Amino acid sequence: MCRDRCSRLALPSSRRLATGASRLVPASILVILLLGSIGEVANANPSPEVNPGDDLVRVCSPHLGAEVDKGSGPQVSAGNVPVVTAAGDQVDQAIVPDGAGGAIIAWEDHRGGGDALYAQHVLMDGSVDPTWPANGTLLAAAANSFVVLAMVSDRAGGAIVFWEDPTTLIRAQRVRSTGVVDPGWGPAGITVATTAAGGKILNAVSDRAGGAFVVWRDSRNGSSNTDIYAMHLTGSGVDPAWPANGLAVCTAPLAQNVPVLCSDGASGAIAVWCDRRVAANDYDIYAQHIFINGTVDPGWPANGTAVVTRASGQRLYSTNNVFYVDSESSDNQGEAVIPDGNGGCLVTWTDGNTQATQDIYVHHVLSTGIVDPAWTAGGVAVCTQPAAQGFSSMVPDGAGGAIVTWADGRDGISPDFSQDIYAQHVLYTSAIAGPANGLAVLTGATGAFPHEVTDGAAGISVFWTDRRDSSTIGFDVYAQHVLTSPSLAVDSSWPAGGLAVSAVAGDQWIPTAVWNGGLGAIVTWGDRRNYATTGYDIYAEALTKRAAGVGATTQPPFALNALTPNPFWDAMTISLSLAQSVSVRLEVFDLSGRRVRTIVSGMQSAGRHDVQWDGTSDDGTALRAGVYLVSVRGGGFSATRRATLLR
């Protein structure tokens, strides 16, 4: 999630520094978008009550980090891994998995006084890919990025990155697994849509076929009547079957804001947003189903199905009536909207328009476009503890339910939003499976902006910015592991109060992470340890963890051995070593992310398996010479190797 601690300020036409934060933060991290009144100055000391003419979206950003397991419990390597330390600030990071246990990170870059976008590849062990350029691959020079980045995996080891500029453009660039931009997209990327000026508030999700859906807030019908639009991109660029400048998802009266996407589990997506069509309610929440052919689902209501409509205000990823905008795009990262595994989605929000009444709720939307009638009308109350709860997000529990985390003010809230962190398990049936009002992940009111990822094995990892040492060495990055089976509990093999991922002099903050496909994660953050010389940098670590009570690190159930010969002319041997019987899929993809051959699919016995690939597709067609990706998945793990076919 894009998160940071900051004060309110005017939406800048040029970059400026925010002066009201407890520590100096670059304006590129702390941009405020005034909903319905772009460009006006916000009240520096606002009332906690909602002012419909002065609603804010606070656009902040995640940054890079990683961890290494060395003992009986989780450990952090001696030195965090610098992803980029070029002179000039690097900020506004987004991260997606690479499909092989590593991650692609993109960011806004001000080296040399410019305003460009770069990306870097971090391997599964947390090291920077030596085949990519040092300090990153240039995605677009003079990008004029307006803070929000959205990024998705291209399903071929690379990524598609979206950004907005403050004029009228939404743009995108594709970076390949080899660390070069796709030549078909050009050195500056492609134009996705040309819309009215103003903040677009982007969000994106993979289409699971090498392309992406992107959704945004659109002011083409007026700044006080913002709507929701979407577009689909294939691995080659903008989908020509879609309406030029985007599909109208919702054009209801008044403002629709802060859209979030999740996959529908097939080839479409579900968009969820905050909606002011009933102004007396402040904000309600609506959802719409989008097909890959460029239409909205005719079985869902026009302009969206109402998830929750009631007075008092409902906001996605919010606290104190301020939205915080998302840069994540993976369905296994913490998000306000996640798939239910059956074509629908789960939605979590902050409910209430004063800090004293803000609670956490979750609701279920079925694939048919109605809210689940088996759930409580208006959503299930996850936490109604007195004092403010906010910043809620979820990951799937693998059984149609969700693990929810949030920031909790029951022990107080500091000016930089530091507070407790809680979690809860909501079952597919709507039943609450954890302690009433949540499990305490962190107490002592030192945590801010929690972010979680699944570990694929009945648990989640939670990351946060921590102020416990802020008066001496600065803000730090901490993590905790939460078990979900047999019941919701903090992992006793982890340190009480959390594991210090990065706690060196100079601030480390706003961690975000991706699951590595096994039992670990790549976690990222922004870092000021060398601020005097290089400004804001980005660091990373690879986190691995042991199962509670187990003395050895959990290993993948298979190994994808060397491909021989490689390069090859007529046939290649692909060798798999399976530690146990496991269901695996062995597939070949081209560099656009298109699956060209499925070689193995199903349960395989333990032992070594050698299979042949003759360079043909599923229909027997001889493939063209080039580089292909051999991918194996199974047991919650994945691995990919490159194969070069000669002709």
Residues 6+ apart with CB under 8 A from 374: 429, 430
- What pLDDT shows up at residue 319? 79
Backbone dihedral angles phi then psi of residue 646, each to the nearest 5 degrees: -105, 150
Any long-range contacts for 503-506 (C-beta under 8 Å, 24+ apart)? 503/469, 503/473, 503/476, 503/477, 503/478, 504/80, 504/473, 504/529, 505/473, 505/474, 505/529, 506/473, 506/474, 506/530, 506/531
The one-letter code for the residue type at 636 is: G
Written in H, E and C, the secondary structure of 275-317 is: ECCCHHHCCEEEEEEECCCCCECCCCCCCCEEEECCCCCEECC
- What pLDDT shows up at residue 264? 94
In this predicted model, which residue has the larger pLDDT, 277 or 580? 277
| Helices (runs of H) and strands (runs of E) counted in the chain | 1, 46
Q: Residue 637: pLDDT band by 50, 70, 90 thresholds?
A: low
Length of the chain: 647
Residues 6+ apart with CB under 8 A from 525: 62, 63, 64, 65, 477, 501, 502, 508, 509, 510, 511, 512, 538, 539
Residue 510: strand, helix, or coil: strand
CA angle 585, 399, 606 (to 5 degrees): 35
Residue 327: strand, helix, or coil: coil
Q: Residue 608: pLDDT band by 50, 70, 90 thresholds?
A: confident
Mean per-residue pLDDT for 17-21? Answer: 25
Q: Which two tokens stand for residue 456?
A: 């694929």
Mean per-residue pLDDT for 461-472? Answer: 93
- Using only C-alpha atoms, the chain has a radius of gyration, in whole angstroms, of 23
H or E, element range at 81: strand 81-84
Answer yes or no: is pLDDT of 47 > 70: no
User: What's the rounded Cα separation, in Å, for the pair 168 and 219?
Assistant: 10
What DSSP line would sit under 410-463, residue for residue?
Answer: TT---TT--EEEEEEEE-TTS-B-SSTT-EEEEEEEEEEEEEEEE-SSSEEEEE
Whole-model pTM: value is 0.79
Q: Domain segments of the chain: what residues? A: 558-645
User: What's the rounded Cα separation, in Å, for the pair 318 and 491?
Assistant: 28
Instruction: Tell me the C-alpha to C-alpha distance, in Å, between residue 600 and each of 157, 177, 265, 610.
Output: 20, 24, 22, 11
* Domain 558-645 class, CATH top level: mainly beta
Mean per-residue pLDDT for 52-63? Answer: 41
Mean per-residue pLDDT for 281-304? Answer: 97
Torsion of CA 281, 418, 379, 303, to 10 degrees: 50
Condensed to tens digits (0 to 9), the pLDDT of residues 523-538 reads: 999 999 999 999 999 9
